[in-house]
Structure 1
Amino acid sequence: MAKRIRKAVFPVAGLGTRVLPATKSIPKEMLTVVDRPVLQHCVDEAREAGIEHFVFVTGRNKAVIEDHFDMAYELDDTLQRRGKTKEYDALKQDLPPAGATSFTRQQAPLGLGHAVWCARDIVGDEPFAVLLPDMITLPGKRNSRCIGQCIEAYEKHGGNVIAVEEVPPQDTHMYGIVSVGKDFGHTFEINGMVEKPPQGTSPSNLIISGRYILEPQIFDILATVEKGAGGEIQLTDGMKKLAEKQGFFGVRFDGKTYDTGSKVGFLAANIAFAMARDDIRPGFLAELKKIVGTI
């Protein structure tokens, strides 16, 4: 029987250069989509899926992330004294339980694979989830977000799981791509992975979309894997080596992913998440119609 997925790793050491100058002094993970930081949306997704322990791999100038997931005594006291019960309760609901967060440092930007490896001692000898904080998701017909669907696939198949989404064939050279083996519909066996294949050589149009379930053996591989694209330790290269020994399965995510690390993706995410909120949608839609009507 597969072990339950209890821990999730969030690699949050990146510089956010794609959205400068906004990220000059604010971590990209703390930019807000509607009224919640991008990283909070990812943590929400993990909590909904049953994750109990949240491991943040940070870098320099990221202390505000640790503060966000801690108590703010002055703010709490002010809200209570002013009778702002709704706001106070919302902050309490978002606060992880004591001991449910861990923070470790990636001292140098050596790649996603290296960032995941930095969490090895906290994760220990158990399977775990990885959520890239640039990517935030909304559910589709299955009514669960991406990491929840990945955990469902893990419980069905075991092994390692990668969420994938379709892109136009002409865009496959910009992403990590998987090839499809035995197909089960919503899930399938992965029989190959390639990072940013040259145009015309991609084995499919299914991209690795930023959500993973990995067995702990990945840590030993990442400790020795050679630097890959960009001179960095690539998680995809480590997964390819692990796939020689263990099964990998893909999940066709039923929902929508927004890349908040790009300016267009960030703006699109704000619109989509606002429209998904019953308390915001009517007024926001009226404003959108005014704006579109002037174009």
Structure 2
Amino acid sequence: MKIRKAVIPVAGKGTRFLPATKQVPKEMLPIVNKPMIHYAVEEAVNSGIEELIFVTSSGKEAIENYFDRNQELEAFLKKNNKIEMMEDIQRIGKMVEVVSVRQKEQLGLGHAINCARGLVGNETFAVILGDDLVLSDTPVTRQLIDVSERNEAKSVIGVMEVPRETTNKYGIVDGDFLKEDAKTLLMKQMVEKPSPEDAPTNLATPGRYILNKEIFDCLDEIPKGVGGEYQLTDAINLLCSKDKVFAHIFTGDRFDTGSIAGYLNATVEFALRDKKTRKIMEEIIKEKMKSYNLG
């Protein structure tokens, strides 16, 4: 069965970026010349996703507006003969079909995904966390979709290798590697932020999932967990006890833009990797190194 839908939770308050996020959704903060959410949506589109479901909250209207058509702006650009800019703007509005649902209470990632249940229906679907950006030749969501489709549309968790001493920052998966696929495990469980000595592996979950419809029943069964929230980790562990769940080590470079440090790192890296901005960023870095006697 073709995986057509992706859920992108965007209901968080973005408090780490205050005061910038007092009026602007965190997901709309730019990485070079595109907002963070644009990269997540591009990944979905390039993975073959046909419908995006944003799980939103009050004050997030700018995200939906960004992916809508802006006829007034398009007309202005055309009138001023800025055709290339106009075409870029038009492409954004035509990227993918977008729908949204409100998460009226902030009760965790599991709760956010469950809010999309009525729009997802009985389909296997993707989940993309917008503050985890991944640069790769093959979109990471596409990589996970391929694993799911090879395994009867089962759930697949994207994982990456992290230094053993940092396992207490992530959800860590445990499982057995498949004989026919050295990068894919049949999961036993996911352990939330284990200490290095207790971590079953060093395979961490950075925010990419393929989930089948059974996850919704699991989300209904789990109690509130840490922080009084419904944890997706708890639902995935329950799903592991009922059905096959796979974890796949994806190929690509992941950037955590959920913190100031990660956001700054992503901005520099994305600028350096884009041929249009590489020289500009290199010159800025050189000048700053001289100014501050750093090299």
Structure 2 vs 1, CA of residues 225 and 50 (structure 1 numbering), >3 Å: closer, same or farther?
Answer: same
What displacement does 1:97 show? 5.9
Once residues 278 and 198 of structure 1 are traced to their aligned partners in structure 2, the CA distance between those partners, rounded to angstroms, is 41
Aligned equivalents of 2:247, 2:221: Cα separation in 1: 25
Matched, 1:80 2:75: no
Report the Cα distance in structure 1 between the residues aligned to 2:21 and 2:85, rounded to whole angstroms.
Answer: 27
Q: Displacement of 1:156 after TM fit?
A: 2.0
Q: Map residues 141-152 of structure 1 onto 2, 5 A cutoff.
A: 143-152=137-146
1:290 positional shift: 1.8
Q: What is the distance in 2 between the residues matched to 1:80 and 1:224? A: 54
- After superposition, the C-alpha distances for 1:16-46 in whole angstroms (9 at most, x for unaligned) are 1222222121111000001111011000000
Q: CA deviation at 1:157?
A: 2.4
Runs of 4+ in 1 over 3 A off after TM superposition: none
Task: State the partner residue of 1:160.
Answer: 155
Q: Choose from 179, 202, 218 the match for 2:174.
A: 179
- Structure 2 counterpart of 1:136, from 118, 133, 136: 133
Provide the rounded CA distance (Å) in 2 between the counterparts of 1:188 and 1:91. 41
Give the match's secondary structure for 2:182: coil
Listed one character per residue, the Cα deviations across residues 60-84 of structure 1 (whole Å, up to 9, x for unaligned) are 1111111111111221111111011
Q: Give the distance between the partners of 2:59 and 2:193, measured in 1 at CA.
A: 30
Who is 2:42 aligned against? 44
Show CA shifts across 1:85-139 (max 9, x none).
00010111122368x1111000010000000000001010010000001111101
Paired residues in the alignment total 289
Distance in structure 2 (CA, Å) of the matches to 1:212 and 1:15:
22
Aligned-partner residue type, residue 250 of structure 1? A
Distance (whole Å) between structure 2 residues aligned to residue 38 and residue 118 of structure 1:
22
Q: What amino acid maps onto 1:147 in structure 2?
A: T
Provide the C-alpha distance between the structure 2 equivalents of 1:15 and 1:95, rounded to a whole number of angstroms: 25
Unaligned runs of 5+ in 2: none
> In structure 1, what is the Cα distance between the partners aligned to 2:65 and 2:224?
33
Measured in 1, the distance between the counterparts of 2:184 and 2:283 equals: 39
Taking the TM superposition and a 5 Å limit, the aligned residue runs for 1:238-257 are: 238-257=235-254
Q: Distance in 1 between matches of 2:22 and 2:129?
A: 20
Q: What amino acid maps onto 2:182 in structure 1?
A: G
Counterpart position of 1:272: 269
In structure 2, how many angstroms separate the alpha carbons of the residues matched to 1:244 and 1:42? 31
Contact 2:177 2:184 in 1 (8 A): no
Give the structure 2 partner of residue 62 of structure 1.
Answer: 60
1:195-206 map, 5 Å? 195-206=192-203
Mapped partners of 1:110, 1:175: distance in 2 = 19
Correspondence for 1:284: 281
Aligned pairs for 1:6-25 (under 5 A) are: 6-25=4-23
Gap regions ≥5 residues in structure 1: none
Change (3 A) 1:169 1:25: same
TM-score w.r.t. length of structure 2: 0.94
Q: Residue type of the partner of 1:272?
A: E
Q: Which residue, out of 224, 228, 233, partners 1:227? A: 224
Structure 2 counterpart SS, 1:45 = helix
Q: Report the Cα offset of residue 224 of structure 1.
A: 2.7
Aligned-pair identity (%) = 41
Q: Give the 3-state SS of the residue equivalent to 2:268 in structure 1.
A: helix
SS in 1 for 2:283: helix
Does 2:121 align with 1:124? yes
SS where residue 83 of structure 1 aligns?
coil
